[in-house]
Amino acid sequence: MPVILNDLEKRVGLAVAHYWKTLASQSRRQRSGDADRGGRTAVTGGKQMDGFSRLVTQILTDNGMSDAHIHRDRSLELPGYFRPTKKWDLIVVYKGKLVAAMEFKSQKGPSFGNNFNNRSEEAIGTAHDLRTAYREGAFADSPCPWLGSIMLLQDCEASRSPVKVDEPHFPVFPEFKGTSYMKRYELLLRKLVRERLYDAAAFIVSTEKKGKAGQYEEPAQDLQARRLFASLGGHIGTFL
């Protein structure tokens, strides 16, 4: 059965616009005197990626998965191997079987350096933890769950500029030399998929101005949202 992806680009654009408009709203509240102050909006607001959560839910229901089996607001904890549980951003549990789990991540400037390292460690650790827990029987007789990641990055001079790497003892892999944070995110997501930590990943970039109008770009063909959703839709079809 073909996967249904009606108006996907428009739907992704709406999720991108929700991200930027939500951040703008959070910033206005901070300036009005909310307790959550400073330049930490991108990590403290918690609602800016809800548009992508709704988008995934729409794709799942379009392709036959009942909303009752999709968890995106609560009951998001899954067993880990190296830690008791990990809270994912969206999971699908159908007839007692773990079908899929997803992470939605974003980053805007100006602190790309430290945040990139944190995002990388979290993505690698989260997927490896769940894959190991699955191997050790944490999910009963569930087939191997589908894991996906969507990353939205601010397109700006700081994310596009080449970044120096320190090599005090040994050389880094050549693909990292002279790369920007945008390119590093692309490499990270591609390698996560190639190493089978995630089944699919989508890499989306947008400027703040154009993003509010739902405009975005996908720098890498192999990391397009359409590929991710086609893969997810095909996977859930095996359960229905």
Mean per-residue pLDDT over the chain, rounded: 93
Q: Which of 233, 211, 153, 208 is nearest to 14 (CA)?
A: 211
Instruction: Using the structure block, give the residue that is written with the tokens 């397009």.
Output: 224
Q: What is the pLDDT of residues 151-167, one digit of tens each?
A: 999 999 999 999 999 99
Q: What's CA 215's distance to the chain center, in Å?
A: 18
- Distance (Å, rounded) from C-alpha 88 to C-alpha 90? 6
Q: Which of 63, 120, 108, 111 is nearest to 204 (CA)?
A: 108
pTM: 0.92
Paired strand residues for 71:
91
Give the 3-state secondary structure of residue 7.
coil
DSSP 8-class letter at 114: H
**Where do the H-state alpha helices sit in the chain?**
8-31, 41-44, 50-62, 112-135, 157-160, 181-194, 208-211, 225-237
Q: What's CA 60's distance to the chain center, in Å?
A: 16
In the chain, where the domains are located? 8-237
Q: What is the pLDDT of residues 9-33, one digit of tens each?
A: 999 999 999 999 999 988 887 776 6
Q: Mean pLDDT over residues 63-92, rounded?
A: 96
**Residue 34 predicted with pLDDT over 90:** no
Helices 8-31 and 50-62 meet at what angle, rounded to 10? 150
**Residue 39 predicted with pLDDT over 50:** no
The CA-CA-CA angle for residues 104, 110, 112, to 5°, reads 55
In percent, the amount of the chain with pLDDT more than 90 equals: 87
Q: Name residue 211's amino acid.
A: G
Encoded tokens for 219: 């720098």
**Residue 38 predicted with pLDDT over 50:** no
Nearby residues of 167 by Cβ (< 8 Å), 6 or more positions away:
none
Instruction: Give pLDDT, residue 42.
Output: 43
DSSP 126-159: HHHHHHHHHHTTTTTTPPPPEEEEEEEEE-SHHH
